[in-house]
Amino acid sequence: MNNLSPLSELTERWLRPAVERVPRGLAIGIPYAWLLIFFLAPFAIVLKISFAEPQLAMPPYTSIFEFLNEAGDYFSVELNLGNYLLLIEDDLYWRAYLNSLKIAAISTALALLLGFPMAYAMARAPERWRGPLVMMMILPFWTSFLIRVYAWIGILKGEGLLNGFLQWLGLIDQPLAILNTDIAVYIGIVYSYLPFMVLPLYATLEKMDESLLEAAADLGCRPFKALWKITVPLARPGIIAGSCLVFIPVVGEVVIPDLLGGSETLMIGRTLWSEFFTNRDWPVASAVAIVLLLLLVVPIALFQRHLLVRAEATR
């Protein structure tokens, strides 16, 4: 290296590594900046506006910061807790939160009850069937969510196909009121979110070593006990992932309660939606969003940990 001229030494030691680092810098910088601007910063703004007061202007909220330049450069922040107090005082909000959590919990349990046998049967199917079966499970999930919910309106309504079928069978005389009740909401949610439950379950069950069950059977374990003692514990990562994928979005669900539920089906996503679009009270909508996010922090963290653990494990 001694016979290099100072210029080429400069190039070799400093310039070239620096130039080569440009793509690396850009590769880190671009997606990072994008997410900071369009994902993290928006939440800071929601938090800020949740402390503001509504006003009849555009934007329809007051500023919580004040700059008083005449009295020197002093800066004050006025936090208005009124929106959060409203969430506590008006029972509409906490009833909507509780009801959303209840509906999400029950529909997650229903999806698990229905999804586990399906995932199990798929994982035990002959190998050449598995690809097409997974494909069949994914296909409805690619089909528009709105359309799939819409399809149920024609089936569930008073003079709809389900009532017609049940009357034809002679099981009922009067049409059942299913549409615009919580039952319709449960059907819609389980139907729409079933693939989110089945696919992670299938992914864990498919990897399971079947000889474990054979060993259990050889040792005199009944099939049902083997299912409970061996299959279910081994499927735990899939159960956790599937449950998170159903539970978290369902808590904030808007479309299904709006189209299939009745006017008394309270869900917090719907409340947020109408605060925002109908009442145009953006600060309250922001406060509703912040509290919803706080409620979901634990399941979201659980799910993220699952994804990261899985990513590290396959490294």
State in angstroms the smallest separation of the CB of 72 from another protein. Answer: 27
Q: Which of the residues 218 through 277 are near another protein (CB under 8 A)?
A: 244-245, 248-249, 251-255, 258-259, 269, 272-273, 276-277
- 260 near 156, Cβ under 8 Å? yes
| Interface pick for another protein out of 51, 93, 97, 191 (rule CB under 8 A) | 191
182 or 188, CB closer to another protein?
A: 188
- The reply on whether position 292 binds another protein by CB under 8 A is yes
State in angstroms the smallest separation of the CB of 133 from another protein. Answer: 7
CB atoms within 10 A of CB 108: 24
45 or 232, CB closer to another protein?
A: 45
182 or 256, CB closer to another protein?
A: 256
Locate 180 and state its tokens. 């615009």
Instruction: Give the integer Cα–Cα distance in Å for 163 and 21.
Output: 67
Which of these ranges, 16-24, 75-83, 166-174, 225-233, lies near another protein under the rule CB under 8 A? 16-24
Instruction: Return the sign of the alpha-carbon dihedral for residues 221, 226, 228, 229.
Output: positive
Q: Which of the residues 116 through 175 are near another protein (CB under 8 A)?
A: 117-118, 120-122, 124-126, 129, 131, 133, 135-140, 142-148, 150-155, 157, 159-161, 164
| Interface pick for another protein out of 114, 183, 227, 240 (rule CB under 8 A) | 114
To the nearest 10°, the Cα dihedral for 191, 192, 193, 199? 90
32 or 74, CB closer to another protein?
A: 32
Q: Which of the residues 54 through 73 are near another protein (CB under 8 A)?
A: 59
234 or 254, CB closer to another protein?
A: 254
- The reply on whether position 45 binds another protein by CB under 8 A is yes
Backbone angles phi, psi at 62, to 5 degrees: -85, 160
Question: Which residues, 6 or more positions from 153, have their beta carbon under 8 angstroms from its beta carbon?
Answer: 160, 179, 259, 260
Locate 250 and state its tokens. 């369902």
- The reply on whether position 289 binds another protein by CB under 8 A is yes
182 or 250, CB closer to another protein?
A: 250
State in angstroms the smallest separation of the CB of 282 from another protein. Answer: 8
State in angstroms the smallest separation of the CB of 187 from another protein. Answer: 10
The size of the chain, in residues, is 315
Separation of first and last alpha carbons in the chain: 39
Instruction: Give the integer Cα–Cα distance in Å for 205 and 123.
Output: 6
H/E segment holding residue 94: helix 91-123
H/E segment holding residue 118: helix 91-123
State in angstroms the smallest separation of the CB of 83 from another protein. Answer: 14
In angstroms, the Cα distances linking 315 to 24, 106, 207, 302, 310 are: 21, 36, 17, 20, 9
State in angstroms the smallest separation of the CB of 257 from another protein. Answer: 12
